[in-house]
């Protein structure tokens, strides 16, 4: 939930706030928690006190619900400045290619919960670079994104580009560009041979309903599918991301 008056975003959920307090405590502007959660946040409260920032134990958890706009606050809400996602620059791309980074790219993934689940999986498998587009259909960072990511937001670097198509076109010859497509000829088991010898790998995930856009598909070097039973056509995009990220982490 965004506080327009203070340009703040509410971060709720125990694991999300705990990771925030441990990894990026300077981001927290205000902190609110229930009595049963107070023992977990002593250190960050001392820091906030030293910085003359507000922290407080609430008398009624309905206050936490009001702050974050969700009943899923799990007894704690931190207010942070609304995140500014940096634009991806060419020098960063050059550094990624040199380092052989594995990069996840969202092409209009529209659900903030799915984005949070993808970030959680990326953090779990150690994939630290994620790019989202500025397309209207692309989910941005919200309170639910932080909560669903379960602390993963503190371990994944997010960047933005005008569109996934732009990034796919600009990295031609610089990376192997893999697109996820349930109708692709290549299977996930082919990913090692398709990426062999490339310093940088870009994995493109598409929209929940329409998949990858046609321009992105055409720009990818390879399209890959996850082979299933055939009973349903495909996995949810967040589930699909977890399977692909597992494979990427082993390359």
In this predicted structure, what is the pLDDT of residue 112? Answer: 97
In this predicted structure, what is the pLDDT of residue 6? Answer: 63
Nearest alpha-carbon partner for 141 in 162, 122, 160: 160
In this predicted structure, what is the pLDDT of residue 7? Answer: 87
In this predicted structure, what is the pLDDT of residue 224? Answer: 98
In this predicted structure, what is the pLDDT of residue 198? Answer: 82
Who's near 26: CB < 8 A, 6+ residues apart? none
pLDDT < 70 stretches in the chain: 1-6
Right CATH for 2-81 from 3.30.1330.30, 3.40.720.10, 3.30.1490.70, 3.50.50.60:
3.30.1330.30
In this predicted structure, what is the pLDDT of residue 5? Answer: 54
Domain ranges of the chain: 2-81, 90-249
Nearest alpha-carbon partner for 91 in 174, 197, 179, 188: 174
200 alpha carbon, distance to own chain's centre: 19
In this predicted structure, what is the pLDDT of residue 3? Answer: 58
Right CATH for 90-249 from 3.40.1280.10, 3.30.420.40, 3.40.50.170, 3.20.20.70:
3.40.1280.10
Kindly state the percentage of the chain with pLDDT values over 90: 92
Please tell me the pTM assigned to this model. 0.95
In this predicted structure, what is the pLDDT of residue 170? Answer: 96
Q: Locate 217 and state its tokens.
A: 């598909």
């Amino acid at each position: 939930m965004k506080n327009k008056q203070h340009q703040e975003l509410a971060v709720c959920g125990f694991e999300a706030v705990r990771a925030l307090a441990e990894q990026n405590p300077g981001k927290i502007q205000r902190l609110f928690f229930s009595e049963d959660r107070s023992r977990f946040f002593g250190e960050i409260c001392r820091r906030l006190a030293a910085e003359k920032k507000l922290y407080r134990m609430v008398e009624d958890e309905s206050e936490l619900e009001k702050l974050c706009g969700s009943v899923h606050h799990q007894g704690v809400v931190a207010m942070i400045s609304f995140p500014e996602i940096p634009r991806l620059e060419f020098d960063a791309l050059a550094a990624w290619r040199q380092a052989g980074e594995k990069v996840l790219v969202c092409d209009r993934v529209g659900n903030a919960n799915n984005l949070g689940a993808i970030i959680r999986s990326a953090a779990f498998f150690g994939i630290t670079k994620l790019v989202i587009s500025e397309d209207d259909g692309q989910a941005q960072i919200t309170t639910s994104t932080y909560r669903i990511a379960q602390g993963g937001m503190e371990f994944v670097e997010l960047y933005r580009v005008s569109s996934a198509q732009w990034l796919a076109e600009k990295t031609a010859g610089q990376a192997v560009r893999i697109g996820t497509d349930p109708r692709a000829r290549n299977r996930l088991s082919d990913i090692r041979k398709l990426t062999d010898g490339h310093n940088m790998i870009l994995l493109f995930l598409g929209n929940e309903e329409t998949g990858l856009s046609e321009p992105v598909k055409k720009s990818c070097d390879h399209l890959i599918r996850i082979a299933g039973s055939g009973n349903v056509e495909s996995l949810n995009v967040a589930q699909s991301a977890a399977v692909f990220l597992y494979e990427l982490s082993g390359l």
